[in-house]
Amino acid sequence: MTQVWRILCFCLIFIAFASADVYYLAEGAKNNGNAFAPADYLSQDIVLSQRIKWPDASFSWYGAFDAGQVAANESFYSKCLEAGVGIDIGNGWFVDLGKKKTKTGVGYFRKPTDYLKGGGTIGQNRSAASQEKVSEGLVGIDIAYMGEGVTFRGISIPRWDNDQQEQSLLSFASKFGDADYTVFLYRGDYASLGLNGNTVIGDSLELHMDSKWTQQMNRSLPSGSGSSTTTQEQNGVIDALLGCTYAFDPNTSLTIEYNYNGAGLEGSEYNEMLDYTQNYGPSLYDTYGLLSVAKHYLYERFAQTYTDCKLTLELMNANNLQDQSGFASIGLSQAYDQATVSLVARVFYGADRSEFGFAPIRSTFSAEVEMFL
């Protein structure tokens, strides 16, 4: 019944606001039914927004919806990504109420200061390019004051159900010379201080850093016998990313990032975790998540656009520096006025006993078509 109601709402919204931005996304890929291979999708997303002027303020409502069918199990799904009201009170004050996606990090591969997480994850197996587009927002209130050169922001996400954590985030953003910086104070299932920023040197070099210090958090470690895991409390955990993007010319750039993941393992602890995974089989990714089990990671991305034919070549590599495993991908994206076609091939590499050596598959290939109507 709930599903029928969702579909009905979706259709009504679509009919009522035909002027909305609509795009279709079809993605086909080898599907092994695990976290590494995206499922086959055919979906339709709608983004709506309307601003209503008021003498001293303006109100806008917004909504973004994603619906489609997962070919693997032929199930229909629909979800509301964002829906709410934004109020421009005037004098630099803004209030947003409702479901909203909020991203605050500045890293490319990882963003330690993207604090607000926890929205629904239907369709999370999509390619990296579309994953952010279909992620769900969180329901709460966002109050911002934008003064000249400074921005204060407070976000509160109440606890709506048992699966969700109450979260609050305060931030202050400003500039120091030519450098931007933002300071964060976060309270959720852990308390944390964050700092990110970036600057540009000369015509071609952009530098960025994204870091947080967490007062206390838990992590999994193999138990003494090595046949199970225990939870260990960790204090003063640092997660920091330092990166740069160098533009060789307007159409060619190289991004390199190093991530120190304080919650990760190294030395004997790391080896014990590999032994445990090799001997007892639970997925490292279920325990730690992707690119999270080790302390040191390096990422590289090279992109070149051939403007004459609107073709973009993208080479990416994510590397666990402790066991030299990782994944590399090559992507081609052809842009048209009304559509983009993307092809991505990804290879996982590393010794059998390594983070990505445990990956259940060695390669994926995905094709994605986006049409903008």
Partner 1 sequence: MLKKAIVLLALFSLGFSLEPNEVLKNIDGQRNIDNLIFDMDITAFNGDKKIDEYSISGFLKTVDNANKVLIYFTQPAASKGRKMLLEGNYMWVLFPRTKNAIRLSPMQVLLGEASNGDVARTSFASDYNALTCEGDTKLGKSALKLKLKAKEASKGSTYGQIVLWVDKEKLLPIYAEFYTESGKLMKLVEYSDNRTYRSATYAGKLDIHDATTPSKHTIMLYSKVGSKLMPTNYFSKEYLDRFSLE
Which residues in this chain contact partner 1 in the complex, by CB under 8 A? 21, 45, 47, 49-51, 60, 64, 86, 88, 92, 94, 101-103, 105-106, 111, 132-133, 144, 146-148, 151, 153, 173, 178, 180, 198, 200, 202-206, 208, 245, 247-250, 253, 307-308, 310, 335-340, 370, 372-373
Closest CA to 116 of 152, 167, 64: 167
Q: How far is the CB of 160 from partner 1 (least distance, A)?
A: 21
Give the Cβ contact number of residue 371 at 10 Å: 15
Comparison of 110 and 295: residue with beta carbon closer to partner 1: 110
Minimum CB–partner distance for residue 171 and partner 1 (Å): 10
- In the three-class reduction of DSSP (H, G, I as helix; E, B as strand; rest coil), residue 319 is classed as strand
CB of 102 to partner 1, least distance (A): 7
Report which of 237, 178, 238 is spatially closest to residue 207, judged by C-alpha positions.
178
CB of residue 18 to partner 1, shortest distance in Å: 15
Query: Which segments of 16-92 are extended strands (E)?
Result: 21-29, 41-53, 58-70, 75-90
Q: Which two tokens stand for residue 283?
A: 């997925």
Nearer to partner 1, 102 or 320 (CB): 102
Instruction: Report the distance separating Cα 261 and Cα 211, nearest Å.
Output: 10
Q: Least distance (Å) from partner 1 to the CB of residue 185?
A: 17
Q: Sign of the CA dihedral 217, 279, 290, 243?
A: positive
Indicate the residue among 185 and 221 with the shorter CB distance to partner 1: 185
- Cβ atoms of residues 113 and 106 within 8 Å: yes
Q: Which is nearer to partner 1, 335 or 347 (CB)?
A: 335
| Per-position DSSP letters for 215-262, written without gaps between them | EEEEEEEE-TTSSSEEEEEEEEEEEEEEEEEEEEETTEEEEEEEEEET
Whether 82 and 100 have beta carbons less than 8 Å apart is answered as yes
What's the CA gap between 337 and 321, in Å, rounded? Answer: 41
3-state secondary structure of 55: coil
In the chain, % helix, strand, coil (3-state, to 5) comes to: 10, 55, 35
Dihedral of alpha carbons 356, 361, 365, 368, sign: negative
In the complex, what is the shortest distance from the CB of residue 24 to partner 1, in angstroms, rounded to a whole number? 12
Find the shortest distance in angstroms from Cβ 50 to partner 1: 6
Is 8 or 52 the residue whose CB approaches partner 1 more closely? Answer: 52
Pick 114 or 272: Cβ nearer partner 1: 114
Q: Which is nearer to partner 1, 185 or 347 (CB)?
A: 185
Based on CB atoms, which residue is closest to partner 1, 171 or 322? 171
Cβ atoms of residues 194 and 172 within 8 Å: no
- Give whichever of 63 and 86 is closer to partner 1, judged by the CB atom: 86
State the DSSP H helix or E strand holding residue 210, giving kind and residue range, or none if neither: strand 205-222
Distance in Å, CB of 284 to partner 1, minimum: 27
Phi and psi of 54, rounded to 5°? Answer: -135, 155
Minimum Å gap between C-beta 298 and partner 1 is 20
